[in-house]
Structure 1
């Protein structure tokens, strides 16, 4: 896909991987519309020349706000990047089930709602793409984040299924699977982290080259291990 002149709707585009993608897409002369919750970050992106929509994607109203803000405007690319983590570890105490609900809605329900809202419009474009950002944890979960892992595994399954449904249309359905990336969500985690810019660059390249899956950074190794032995991949990842 040639990104010049394409209109891209990018959720969670005011920080982390999303902001990096927004800036890289703009460099390729795409028109990028971002969503976020922080007023300060939204204003920063507007000042940088982006249209920015305020939307809380942990609730049904978030997707409605995005659709309403766009009105009759058509998009060529939908990138479901927004996501959030949640502490959910019984070894540390009772988890917050309301926070789990927010995570499930933001990471899984909202992407489904946005795809449902825009798929017919995307099918009418000469070339279009849906990009769902999941995680290497969609392949094999870690013990400390079962809810987050479940949402990403669910979005992975959904992506694979709708890719089959949209085969033969103008819509390329892409799954992007980042590793641990240096963002606000992973600030408390130690160990090696990929930069948001480097991660974003691989996802943008996948869009440009019409790939269906972008295994980013160390996820390539995880995917290879999982292909050889799913049980081994699970044992490795569950330790984290």
Structure 2
């Protein structure tokens, strides 16, 4: 689901993807597109909301209204998170599972804190966001955390600079969204997606060099990342 002016370009660039143009305001999403998005979601198991949405007032309103209207599993990332800055509690009204995937700066905006505060208190801040939103929170970083409102915490230690490349976070969001669409529990989907994403990043860095990896390289290696077989050189 993309703003109508972007549909033709994306159809030419992404041959495998099916796109639907939604009403737009100066090329950005607008709340007028929420009803059509909800209709589309009736045939989907999950929705990933946020990457590429934009930060205009209309786009932010679109993200907030969509989050409330959608009745399927929902992953919120990027500008979808920015649209909920200071409004985490609104997400508690959702009945379906919700996963938030912020990096430190996005989490700081959600909680009205500084990035330094989040950096020094990662687990406490992730838990606060999870409790206030009722969502699973995946806090990205070298040691990524997956935190439920109550109960378990999953930690994915280590990683690679290759995963700092633009677009790699969108790959993670899409992977977790796909796992949610298969009916996987939200905490488990976030944890498995994180591990597979790291494994794919390590493989890409090994084959191409960490400085030469782009987001598309990760997509090609996700099947290997999801495999239970050990990576080369692992112990």
TM-score (norm 1): 0.39
TM-score (norm 2): 0.39
